[in-house]
């Protein structure tokens, strides 16, 4: 039996996953730079919710950046990619796009595009953060990175909110998450969760302390 290979089947999904500070954005930028040197047409996508630095760039925690197009949702991402007619699509902060990103990435890969999806696979309360676990299951290639635990220096697969930042996110009536009267679940995409070194620390399994469940009122 012979195996048929066609251009329509040359698409590929690559995943870069891990906790905050694990070097996901640095690795994405490295791959994009290499592709550009090779003359590959690349679309670099970031999410408009990530307002930590320049919206027109992906920026690492130490300030290295590359140009990117910031989009607010999956529909806009699809429009940008269609307009750019690119061979490689690199997506930063995939967790901000939610599960709706999965079918779009599937379509792009089926059409022959290489897609690199980079994002958090775990929330600040230690649970799976979709859509990254799904992408990890269906990808041709998965790189799972770890950060450095800020307590002991071992491999960190978790991250947790710094108490002062958590307190700052509380609304005037004292409810967590920044929205009056409502608790924002860790799996929710919410501006109150956006942050960097001032808001989160990397933690190994031993030193990770998940947030206490909100008390009943
Ligand atoms: P990510 O996108 O995964 O959050 P970045 O690629 O933006 O990570 O930044 C990774 C860089 O963050 C590291 O190379 C290092 O310089 C810095 N850094 C700060 N805190 C830590 C930590 N606890 N563990 C590892 N790297 C850290
Ligand atoms: P990073 O992976 O480049 O460090 O960025 C992660 C972003 O995601 C950062 O803005 C904080 C945010 N975030 C959430 O929205 N929910 C979470 O559960 C965690 C841990 C981070
Ligand atoms: Mg990043």
Atom 16, ligand 1: which residue's CA is nearest? 62
| pLDDT at 119 (0 to 100) | 98
The answer to whether 87 is a known catalytic residue is: no
Domain limits of the chain? 7-146, 155-203
| pLDDT at 180 (0 to 100) | 43
| pLDDT at 182 (0 to 100) | 56
Say yes or no: CB of residue 114 within 6 Å of ligand 2.
Answer: no
Distance of CA 85 from the midpoint of ligand 3 (Å):
25
Peptide bond into 131 cis (omega under 30): yes
Say yes or no: CB of residue 20 within 6 Å of ligand 2.
Answer: yes
Distance of CA 90 from the midpoint of ligand 3 (Å):
12
Say yes or no: CB of residue 46 within 6 Å of ligand 2.
Answer: no
Say yes or no: CB of residue 22 within 6 Å of ligand 1.
Answer: yes
CA 120 from chain center: how many Å?
5
Which residues pair with residue 117 across a beta bridge?
A: 15, 91
Fold annotation for 7-146 = Rossmann fold (3.40.50)
Atom 27, ligand 1: which residue's CA is nearest? 21
Residue to mutate (ligand 1; options 58, 60, 162, 193; most atoms within 8 A of CB): 60
| pLDDT at 161 (0 to 100) | 94
Binned average pLDDT, 10 residues per bin, the chain of 217 residues: 54 98 98 98 95 85 93 97 94 97 98 98 96 98 98 98 76 44 78 92 96 58
Pair type for strands 158-161 and 147-148: unpaired
| pLDDT at 143 (0 to 100) | 98
| pLDDT at 213 (0 to 100) | 66
Which position among 93, 118, 170, 182 bears the catalytic label?
A: 93
| pLDDT at 214 (0 to 100) | 56
Strand extents, DSSP E, 121-214? 141-144, 147-148, 155-156, 158-161, 200-203
Nearest to 193, CA basis, from 100, 101, 96, 92: 96
| pLDDT at 38 (0 to 100) | 98
């Amino acid at each position: 039996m012979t195996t048929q290979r066609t251009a329509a089947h040359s698409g590929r999904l690559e995943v870069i996953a891990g906790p905050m500070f694990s070097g996901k954005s640095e690795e994405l930028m490295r791959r994009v730079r290499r592709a550009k040197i090779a003359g590959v047409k690349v679309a670099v996508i970031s999410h408009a919710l990530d307002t930590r630095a320049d919206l027109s760039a992906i920026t690492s925690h130490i300030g290295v950046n590359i140009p990117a197009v910031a989009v607010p949702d999956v529909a806009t991402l699809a429009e940008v990619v269609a307009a750019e007619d690119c061979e490689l699509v690199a997506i930063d902060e995939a967790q901000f796009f939610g599960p709706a990103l999965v079918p779009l990435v599937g379509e792009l890969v089926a059409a022959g595009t290489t897609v690199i999806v980079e994002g958090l696979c775990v929330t600040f309360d230690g649970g799976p953060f979709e859509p990254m676990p799904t992408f990890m299951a269906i990808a041709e290639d998965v790189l799972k990175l770890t950060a450095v635990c800020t307590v002991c220096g071992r491999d960190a697969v978790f991250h947790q909110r710094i108490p002062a930042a958590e307190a700052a996110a509380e609304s005037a009536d004292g409810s967590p998450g920044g929205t009056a009267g409502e608790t924002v679940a860790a799996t929710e995409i919410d501006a109150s969760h956006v942050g960097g070194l001032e808001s989160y620390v990397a933690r190994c399994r031993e030193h990770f302390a998940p947030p206490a469940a909100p008390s009943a009122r």
